[in-house]
Structure 1
Amino acid sequence: MFQVPVIDVTNEQAIFEGEGFDAVVVVTPKLADVAQQEISLLAAHAQQIDKRVGQQATLLFAPGLAGGRLVIAPVKNIGDYTDVRVYATAAKEGINIAKEAGANKPLLVVAHSQEERFKFASQVAALACGQALWQPLETREAKQLTAPLTGIGLLVSDPQADLINALEAGRLLARDLCGTDPERMSAINFAEYCVESFKDSGLEVEVVDDKQTLLTEYPLLSAVGRSSFDVERHHPRVVKLAYTGEGEITRTLLFAGKGVVYDTGGADIKIAGGMAGMSRDKGGAAAVAGLMKTLALLKPKGIKVIAQLGLVRNSIGSEAFVTDEIITSHAGTRVRIGNTDAEGRLVLTDLLSHLREQAINATAPSLFSVATLTGHVVRAYGGYTALVENVVAKQQKVAEKLYQAGQQWAEPFEVSHLRPEDFEKVADKNGAADVISSNNAPSSITARGHQYPAAFLLKASGLDKHGLNHNIPLSFTHIDIAGSATEGDPLYGKPTAQPLVALLQFAVS
């Protein structure tokens, strides 16, 4: 296992006596805020001969402290609009210096203000260390790498390790699924990786692999994968997962995860290098799988969480689906294909239709789609995740609750809104079909390019019939993570597993 475990430390003597720790990493906005006088005095003395101390991450020789190493990782540029991510940035810098200095088991000390926005700074800093230390699955397998550290201590007053380790286990799974190349993590291999990861977890796991079942039950997903059926190793899969907590179930969350393991654009082929990075188009399914892993470890009571992951390769070939086709979805909606490079919403539609049927008889259901769906969300919001909710979810304040969780746990959201124009945009103008999947231009240059796909999902999956005035209104929130699924290089940057942490907080709140 590549995960670096976090260990609760409530005894400050660990800073000095070691307890196996071989470095102390201090994350703080001000050296004066560090509660341990020995650390603040040592840092203040070092500052007299090196002005970088407290201004940038530095390593100090520290006799008497664990391992004789002290890393000061300053939290910089705190202002009115700053959020807790500044602690994550500082923690990444600090843990990398400790690792490069030869530490195997550093102790993380986070000194933060009592402001509400920094309430979970210690937990966020610890999770950031996991993000910084992750290595791609291909590299680990090729070089037989083991975890770079044996553990990270976290100096806290209350135990936090179980939560942090469960979150990081889910994030590790999500990063592996999202960030691995399209052959190593084909639809089949993605499904098998999930099955192996959930062995003995207590989750209900089912893989739909029969071609006829896929064609009948997931007709839009199968259309996307039509050309991939020609290649046995590229066959589509649907992974069904379910977690049921102990006790009376008081709420049910249902997730559809987009898992396009490679997106060529299909017949509307991506050109001029546009395919690069398209093995990351499975980030939504990866994040949902990671969430299920975390739930299986934490075992929260009173909730049920159901997920379907649609895994498919949008291949090119003589069998590929094309624009102008009209295909009937699982919900019975006739869908005109407007652009084969808008395949993600087709995959999600069938998943949501199945989840809709389950939600009708569920306790307090909330449905979600999670997907790297549009270039437009990146144009609109940069690296932020967008939430687009239906009127039922809006009444239940789903996006508002997610927004607050994201702010506190370093996974911030932007909230968008459905408008009448979004439903007009997906109407098939000549009436041959019930709905059109997209226009024929890239979403990045289309007005309301990340909002109107949510209207399509509602119409094509049958969820539009479960509005406020229906006897069974259903809450639905679309989550577009195209801008936040990776960090750094937009094509090959490190997967973030967003918004796993915020979704977990929403689920257990």
Structure 2
Amino acid sequence: MATPKLTIVSSIQELPDSGCDALVVLSHDLATIPAPFAETVHTAQQVDAQVVNKTSVLRCSAAPAQRLVVVPTGPLDRDYDDVRRFFDAARNAALIVRDTGAIAPVLWLPEIPKNTTYEKAVEAAWFGFCQGLYEPLEAREHFGENVEPISAVTLIAETSQSASWLQAVEEGRRVARDLCGTEPERMSPMKFAEYCQQAFASTSVKVQIIDDKPQLEHEYPLLAAVGRASFGTSQRPCVIRLEYTPEGNVDETLMIVGKGITYDTGGADVKTGGHMAGMSRDKGGAAGVAGFVKAVAGVKPQGLKVIAELAAVRNNIDALAFVADEIITGRSGKRVRIGNTDAEGRLVMADCLAHLTELAANEVNPSLYTVATLTGHAALAKGPYSAFVPNGPAMKTGLVNDLLAASETWADPAELSPSRREDYDFVRGRTKADDLLSSNNGPSATTKRGHQFPMAFLNEVALLHEHGNNSDKPLPYIHIDIAGSGVEGGDWQHGKPTATPVLAFAGKFLAR
């Protein structure tokens, strides 16, 4: 089933007399729940004192279908509490609500702290509830769409965002989860492309698939090297180009590259010791970018142009596979010495980023981004948070701070990781035979600044270093590493994809 149909009403008195079949109340203080529901909660507490600490399903004659689902968020006033208290509470309650047999629940937040931390609490609850309800694409294809039985949700809220806006962004998040979480045969590079074609059919987003081997070798040589052993197979690589152009004038252009490694074997530097499991999710960056573009297609923002290139590749292993020590000239003319074939993500994005950097000269107010499940170091250093690694113009213009603020507000939090001179020293070529080193030959998680130096490589290989603060045309650029935030609980084999950074980008660029 598609994203549940969303309706918003401003008060509980506006609920329709029929159609809804459960009232889900999210609150940090059950004492604030108004009558007549308060009496039901008080009675339940006489039997079970833990009602205040856990999601409980209570019979209440005043609730739709007599189902009252009480969902405590926990405290909201500590220094470390944030809007994810509502997101998480709604997500965790979703399956309980589903299992009651409800198919059209009502979500109600009767008391929200009046501060900026919780200004998007209602929206966070909607997105969290949908996160909990989501079932994988393979499950829906096997069991049918009724594996997600909840078809409608009503929000009791006053929100600056319309129901259509919230639904459009959630449909984008669904696309991101589908593309990230689906197993490697079902979502091979060309099937990733086919899914995108279907997702953007009948929208204003143009989709172009580049899969011709000579063209890829000429225009995306680093990507073609990573996919060298996949040409001629069902896993052949491609670049998926998505473009949204608004009606009327363009005021701002987002140019985004997504890493879409549909399965990461490690290449010739093969992953061992069980570390290959879960690597079908190494396409989470491209998935998140596609999801954001899907949200753009639904919201149809004025003044905002979006160009995205998704690098969909599987780094297969055979006699033709690229190996460490090779020197490969990228699209920009930079000669790249391969340090480790398992550092393939930055390579498949490099030529896409170089291409968008070329195009940026003719775009209005451009900013550039790479989104990738890139390094174990980011997961180690940042835990469940995305890492934002900006260049100088992204810092100077305040772009990265604005995006960080949006990520906090919209329950998709990230942390800053400034780029430093040591990162550029790390990737500098060691001989006159090469200009850049793609990586060292050790795990990123045990490498100093293991998630920062890849941004320096991308900045250099795409010639973005020519567009720093000291240039005539500075180009803001942010590298976004979602290796720690891309799936719930850091479980790359079984965890549900989070659809990051769709909410952060939607909050910054679509919430006008």
TM range (shorter): over 0.9
**2:505 paired with 1:503:** yes
Q: Deviations over 1:394-441 (max 9, x none)?
A: 101122111111111111111001111100000111231000000000
Alpha-carbon distance between aligned partners in 2 of 1:503 and 1:444, rounded to the nearest angstrom: 27
**The residue matched to 2:62 in structure 1 has which SS?**
coil
Does the Cα contact within 8 Å between 1:23 and 1:70 map onto a contact in 2? yes
Alpha-carbon distance between aligned partners in 1 of 2:79 and 2:278, rounded to the nearest angstrom: 35
Given residue 509 of structure 2, which amino acid in structure 1 is its aligned partner?
A
Q: Corresponding residue for 2:393? A: 392
Q: Deviations over 1:377-400 (max 9, x none)?
A: 011111110000000111011221
Q: Corresponding residue for 2:261? A: 260
How many angstroms does 1:492 deviate by? Answer: 2.0
Q: Corresponding residue for 1:87? A: 86
Does the Cα contact within 8 Å between 2:176 and 2:290 map onto a contact in 1? yes
Change (3 A) 1:339 1:348: same
Runs of at least 5 residues in structure 2 that lack an aligned partner in the other structure: none
How many angstroms does 1:14 deviate by? Answer: 5.0
Q: Corresponding residue for 2:344? A: 343
Q: Corresponding residue for 2:98? A: 99
Q: Corresponding residue for 2:74? A: 76
Runs of at least 5 residues in structure 1 that lack an aligned partner in the other structure: none
Alpha-carbon distance between aligned partners in 2 of 1:157 and 1:119, rounded to the nearest angstrom: 11
Q: Deviations over 1:473-500 (max 9, x none)?
A: 1111000000111003233200010010
Does the Cα contact within 8 Å between 2:36 and 2:62 map onto a contact in 1? no
Given residue 86 of structure 2, which amino acid in structure 1 is its aligned partner?
Y
Q: Corresponding residue for 1:401? A: 402
Q: So what's the TM-score if we normalise by structure 1?
A: 0.97
Given residue 68 of structure 2, which amino acid in structure 1 is its aligned partner?
L
Residues 1-400 of structure 1 correspond to what in structure 2 (within 5 A)? 1-14=1-14, 18-34=17-33, 36-78=34-76, 79-111=78-110, 112-146=112-146, 147-158=148-159, 160-231=162-233, 233-400=234-401
Does the Cα contact within 8 Å between 1:27 and 1:94 map onto a contact in 2? no
Alpha-carbon distance between aligned partners in 2 of 1:220 and 1:188, rounded to the nearest angstrom: 19
Alpha-carbon distance between aligned partners in 2 of 1:121 and 1:39, rounded to the nearest angstrom: 21
Alpha-carbon distance between aligned partners in 1 of 2:208 and 2:484, rounded to the nearest angstrom: 30
Given residue 375 of structure 1, which amino acid in structure 2 is its aligned partner?
G
Deviation >4 Å, runs of 4+: none
Q: Deviations over 1:277-301 (max 9, x none)?
A: 0000000000000101110110010
Alpha-carbon distance between aligned partners in 2 of 1:238 and 1:5, rounded to the nearest angstrom: 33
**The residue matched to 2:52 in structure 1 has which SS?**
coil
How many angstroms does 1:46 deviate by? Answer: 2.3
Q: So what's the TM-score if we normalise by structure 2?
A: 0.97
Alpha-carbon distance between aligned partners in 1 of 2:154 and 2:68, rounded to the nearest angstrom: 14
Q: How many residues align?
A: 506
Alpha-carbon distance between aligned partners in 1 of 2:493 and 2:228, rounded to the nearest angstrom: 26
Given residue 329 of structure 2, which amino acid in structure 1 is its aligned partner?
T
Q: Out of 166-175 and 239-248, give the one that drifted further.
A: 239-248
Does the Cα contact within 8 Å between 1:18 and 1:65 map onto a contact in 2? no
The Cα RMSD (Å) is: 1.3
**The residue matched to 2:250 in structure 1 has which SS?**
coil
Given residue 203 of structure 1, which amino acid in structure 2 is its aligned partner?
V
Q: Deviations over 1:191-221 (max 9, x none)?
A: 0000011001011111111111111000000
Alpha-carbon distance between aligned partners in 1 of 2:271 and 2:232, rounded to the nearest angstrom: 21
Q: Deviations over 1:344-366 (max 9, x none)?
A: 00011111011001111111110
Does the Cα contact within 8 Å between 2:279 and 2:492 map onto a contact in 1? no
Q: Out of 52-61 and 301-310, give the one that drifted further.
A: 52-61
Alpha-carbon distance between aligned partners in 2 of 1:58 and 1:336, rounded to the nearest angstrom: 58
Alpha-carbon distance between aligned partners in 2 of 1:187 and 1:350, rounded to the nearest angstrom: 17
Alpha-carbon distance between aligned partners in 2 of 1:66 and 1:433, rounded to the nearest angstrom: 69
Given residue 248 of structure 2, which amino acid in structure 1 is its aligned partner?
G
Q: Deviations over 1:224-273 (max 9, x none)?
A: 00001141x11101111111122221111100000000110000000011
Given residue 143 of structure 2, which amino acid in structure 1 is its aligned partner?
K
Alpha-carbon distance between aligned partners in 2 of 1:230 and 1:361, rounded to the nearest angstrom: 36
Given residue 90 of structure 1, which amino acid in structure 2 is its aligned partner?
A
Given residue 56 of structure 2, which amino acid in structure 1 is its aligned partner?
T
Does the Cα contact within 8 Å between 2:86 and 2:125 map onto a contact in 1? yes
How many angstroms does 1:5 deviate by? Answer: 2.1
**The residue matched to 1:229 in structure 2 has which SS?**
coil
Change (3 A) 1:55 1:18: farther
Q: Percent identity?
A: 45
Q: Deviations over 1:281-335 (max 9, x none)?
A: 0000000001011101100101111100000001111000000100001111100
Given residue 282 of structure 1, which amino acid in structure 2 is its aligned partner?
K
Does the Cα contact within 8 Å between 1:253 and 1:507 map onto a contact in 2? no
How many angstroms does 1:11 deviate by? Answer: 4.3
**The residue matched to 1:228 in structure 2 has which SS?**
coil
**The residue matched to 1:227 in structure 2 has which SS?**
coil
How many angstroms does 1:33 deviate by? Answer: 2.7
How many angstroms does 1:98 deviate by? Answer: 1.6
Does the Cα contact within 8 Å between 2:238 and 2:313 map onto a contact in 1? yes
Residues 474-493 of structure 1 correspond to what in structure 2 (within 5 A)? 474-488=475-489, 489-493=491-495
